[in-house]
Amino acid sequence: MAGQSFPFTTSALRSLRLQREWLEWEDRRRAVARRCRSHRDPAEARVQLAKPHRRCRDPAVHSALFAGDLQQVQALFQDEEAANMIVETVSNQLAWSAEQGFWVLTPKTKQTAPLTIVAARGYTDCARHLILQGAELDARVGGQAALHEACAHARPDCVRLLLAFGARANVLSEEGAAPLHLCTTPESLECAKLLLDAGAAVNLAAGDEATPLHVAAARGLEAHVALYLARGACVDLRTGRGETALNVACAGAEPGAAGLHEAAARRLLEAGADPRVAGRKGHSPLHHACAHGHSYLAELLLRHGAQAGAPNAAGLTPLDCALQAASDAAEPEVLLAALLDHGAGPAHPEMLKHCANCPRALEVLLNAYPCVPSCDAWLRAVLPEVWQAHEAFYSSAGRMVNQPRRLQHLARLAVRAQLGDRCREAAARLPLPPLLRDYLLLRVEGRIE
């Protein structure tokens, strides 16, 4: 009995249960062996039964692994069976109870392997000891292998160790992700390099058909994007939702991380990514950039051939998306002027209400019409305090509703129409005085005439 008991716990009941499981496994193994001997089929004679792994909830074991205590790990894990045990942790989590109608604490059990725990925390000495004791390198206890966790937590030393001992660089998690898909932070760049050097497939698609390039682009990881492109990543591959890497880069460009995503998008465009390719719901990269109010990213896309007037599946143009985000954008007038300079048509008058409280943006839009359109919606949308602060502009705009504009303005529109989507490029090349060039490009003056 003592030789068969669980060595890491003092609980007698647990020892007895584990011993019973072991004996049941031995009985099944012997039964299979007897059936194989009674048949002549050689294929059936090779039937084997996988040996079950031991399970442990002993706090002492947990503490040694999570703290990286090498001496305790060496004392507790002295053979292959111990190195491949299943470590179970139980934590109480809030879960909604439909029957009771409120949130309740529900115990949740999580399973993992000793090697996975120490690899995620960068304990290379502990990981080496477990490997030398026979720990399975690619075991996916709990859904992910040790290499997944080492990459997810940016532990290059552990990644190097695991690969040196033969861990598979393309091992898939239960969700279909390879370790390269989990290099999602700037600190994980070295992990990505190690994986690629070990033969990781740079164009391998995860469960949602996203490649490592999609993952890096979505998080604005310029260095990762550059690395993958240099190693042969394809910029044209799409996810299951039809998104290219450029699409997800622009979609992820939220206000706090616009610069990072702009740099990643530039890398993709330089590698040949097509900014005109739309993804889910017909949203192009330019739609995403405008929906986030990012003027510099939008200008980058426009310079590389993005179509300023292309509608999405709902019929919205990038200009419409920019208007809807005008109140949250830092400089909406810059974005709107860029779109108009690259061929976007004037917005529908009903859309003007979205930028009614952004006088500079509203001025740019109103100057794209031959006369100020009659629409009470945008006038009513102006807040009293905004009107008071910019009374000169709003009063001039109100007076010019449905009134003839100056010949100078009409001439400006005629020249812009002739230049079309090359307006900004042509204005830079024409021998025009700076004031006239700025006027042609819808310079903000603070009034409508």
Indicate whether 28 and 140 sit together in one domain: no
Which string of DSSP letters, residue by residue, matches 201-217?
Answer: -TT---TTS--HHHHHH
Percent of the chain residues past pLDDT 90, beyond the cut: 67
Whether residue 108 is predicted with pLDDT greater than 90 in this model: the reply is no
| CATH code of 160's domain | 1.25.40.20
- pLDDT, tens digit, for every residue of 270-316? 999 999 999 989 999 999 999 999 999 999 999 999 999 999 999 99
Indicate whether 154 and 78 sit together in one domain: yes
Give the per-residue pLDDT at 97.
65
Last residue of a domain, one of 166, 182, 200: 200
Residue 185 in domain: yes
Q: How far apart are CA 216 and CA 194, in angstroms?
A: 16
List residues bridging with 95 in a β-sheet. Answer: 104
- pLDDT, tens digit, for every residue of 197-247? 999 999 999 888 899 999 999 999 999 999 999 999 999 999 999 999 999
Quick check: 448 and 372 in contact, CB under 8 A? yes
Quick check: 346 and 369 in contact, CB under 8 A? yes
Give the per-residue pLDDT at 264.
96
Residue 311 in domain: no
Helices (H), 184-324: 189-197, 212-218, 222-230, 245-251, 258-270, 285-291, 295-303, 318-324
Indicate whether 194 and 68 sit together in one domain: yes
Quick check: 178 and 204 in contact, CB under 8 A? yes
Domain that holds residue 32: 2-52
Give the per-residue pLDDT at 254.
79
Indicate whether 36 and 112 sit together in one domain: no
Indicate whether 78 and 157 sit together in one domain: yes
- pLDDT, tens digit, for every residue of 138-195? 999 989 999 999 999 999 999 999 999 999 999 999 999 999 999 999 999 999 999 9
Give the per-residue pLDDT at 120.
96
pTM of the full structure: 0.82
- pLDDT, tens digit, for every residue of 319-376? 999 999 998 888 899 999 999 999 999 888 889 999 999 999 999 999 999 999 887 7
User: How many domains does the chain divide into?
Assistant: 2
Question: Token pair for residue 172?
Answer: 């898939």
Indicate whether 161 and 66 sit together in one domain: yes
Residue 248 in domain: no
Q: CA 307, 312, 317, 321 torsion: positive or negative? A: negative
Percent of the chain residues past pLDDT 70, beyond the cut: 84
Residue 126 in domain: yes
Residue 117 in domain: yes
Q: How far apart are CA 233 and CA 201, in angstroms?
A: 9
Indicate whether 91 and 35 sit together in one domain: no
